Amino acid sequence: MKKKHPKTIRNLFRLKFCCLQLGMNVRRFKIISQFLYSSFTVYIVLRLGFVDYSLVPENRKLENIPLECNSVINGTENRRKISRARQWDWHFDWVEHEIFNSRNVCSTIDKYFNFTRIPSSREEAEYPLAYGLVVYKTIVQVLTQMSLFYQPQHMFCITVDDQSPNEYKSVIQALPSCFPNMHVFIGEPSQWGSFGILKNVYTCFNWLSKSKQKWKYYQYLSGTDLPIRTNLEMVRIFKALNGSMNTDVSTFEVDRYKNMEGVLPPMPVYKSSMSVVVPREGADYLISSPRVQKLLKYLSKTWIPDESFWSTVLGSPALLPVPGSIRVRDILWLRKNFKLRPPYENTVNSIGTSYIGRYQVWGWQKECFGKVKDFSCVFGVEDIEEIMTRPELVAHKLYLEFQPAAFMCMLKEVRRRSLSPDAHLFSARSYSQMPTVELYQGKAITQLTNPNWLVRDSFYNPQHEDFDKEVL
């Protein structure tokens, strides 16, 4: 019998020891694994038992996306925070895809967007408003925007561009089934400078004026507007306007006559911004006036007619006595003959302007911290601090796909203010001192409390201003 070598015996002993140790490690691993699985199971059970399921739907709302907005709204010297906000990105494509492919559009909208189902206060419930919108793209942005303006007592009319994708038009057309206070038209192509824009706007304006809902004021919105003011603040501002209209006032440029040069218009033509605020009595008068229909036909052959309509129909009360109208020629006369210095402050406590329809910055006016598109600033993150102190009703333009933190932080701040316990403290007293309000109440152009608020229109160019010959 062959004897085992001592070295071989030692190796066998080591192998047996390793196997025993390995077995112990395997058993220990099983014990640890069972403990971890048991602990995780207990955690899940406790988590499911104590979670507040009422908050789950609310947490899905897009406006509850986690985002640090204090530095964006209130400003900061910390450039890192601003840089972080500028670079912040959130892809909403998946929401758009779900909306377009949803079998129940209403439930999908309710899932992601916060539409107020009951009036926020009695004061707001007793003061319904009317909104007319022209839209053609970015369904997520439009629905987010509308969720801020929406109140069940308001009326909404939407005209969607006929050239929009079919899936987009289908979702917009489904909105009245979700919200009974909405109405939708398929409109003309909304090409810049064409009559189609004005026709689309007037289509909704006409429908809203004929509705049975006794709303107090009409306001136009585009798909790139966001409110600066809450609904309660807007209600109090409209009350301060006291039945007067609010539109931009500028001199009509000769090159805009286009094919109508030499043809006498049915009334003096002026230039204005697209956005306007019109009292219900004024709207009722406009849709029943034959002169307005003649003006629409005349403007259809001019250039950029949507910027010629409102101040024209609301600026000649001797020819067209629209409730809420004023004499535009008086304002133009003041600008021409009195070298007034424009105010430095533009806040809710000192409006400093005669036009509050919307806040828009043209590329030639001041620095744009976002980007300039079609000569107009698309606001970025660093523009928001100033915007939120402005007295205007809405800001134009913001894109959800460009520096989305700017859009989302404005959304969050307006919602926060609307739900604040101090919301009722807002005062619109300064709005009642606007020149257009006082002119409507019968004051002469030389008797205004704040004549220098009339100095600038929304198209002003600071390079052309001259204050060396100040008179008042």
Q: Please report the sign of the dihedral spanned by the C-alpha atoms of residue 79, residue 418, residue 113, residue 164.
A: negative
User: CA 167 to CA 431: how far, in whole Å?
Assistant: 42
**Which of 223, 226, 225 lies closest to 136 in space, CA to CA?**
223
- Whether 299 and 195 have beta carbons less than 8 Å apart is answered as yes
From first to last of its 472 residues, what are the pLDDT tens digits of the chain?
A: 444 455 555 555 555 545 455 455 656 656 666 766 666 665 555 554 444 434 445 567 898 999 999 999 998 888 899 999 999 998 889 999 999 999 999 999 999 999 999 998 999 999 999 999 999 889 999 999 999 999 999 999 999 988 999 999 999 999 999 999 999 999 888 777 788 899 999 999 999 999 999 999 999 999 999 999 999 999 999 999 999 999 999 998 888 888 888 888 999 999 998 899 999 999 999 999 999 999 999 999 998 899 999 999 999 999 999 999 999 999 999 999 988 899 989 999 999 999 999 999 999 999 999 999 989 999 999 999 999 999 999 999 999 999 999 999 999 999 999 999 999 999 999 999 999 999 999 999 999 999 999 999 999 988 888 765 444 4
pLDDT, tens digit (0-9, with 9 covering 90-100), for 252-307: 888 888 888 888 899 999 999 889 999 999 999 999 999 999 999 999 999 889 99
- Global confidence as pTM: 0.85
The closest of 155, 220, 163 to 196, measured between CA atoms, is 163
Here the tokens at position 45 are: 């059970």
CB 342 within 8 A of CB 451: no
Residue 65 has what pLDDT? 92
What sign has the CA pseudo-torsion 328, 333, 336, 340? negative
The alpha-carbon radius of gyration of the chain (Å, integer) is 31
Which own/partner contact pairs does 307-310 have at CB distance under 8 Å and 24+ positions apart?
307/271, 307/272, 307/273, 307/274, 308/252, 308/256, 308/269, 308/270, 308/271, 308/272, 309/198, 309/201, 309/202, 309/272, 310/247, 310/248, 310/272, 310/273, 310/274, 310/276, 310/278
d(CA 11, CA 449): 106
3-class state of residue 396 by DSSP: strand
Amino acid identity at 280: R
Cα separation, 272 vs 392, in Å, equals 16
| Residue 287 tokens, joined | 């849709």
Predicted confidence at residue 338, as pLDDT, reads 87
Crossing angle for the helix pair 166-178 and 105-112, to the nearest 10 degrees: 80
DSSP string, 19-77: HHHHHHHHHHHHHHHHHHHHHHHHHHHHHHHH--GGGHHHHTSGGGS----HHHHH--S
Looking up tokens 């709303």 gives 215
pLDDT tens by residue, 405-438: 999 999 999 999 999 999 999 999 999 999 999 9
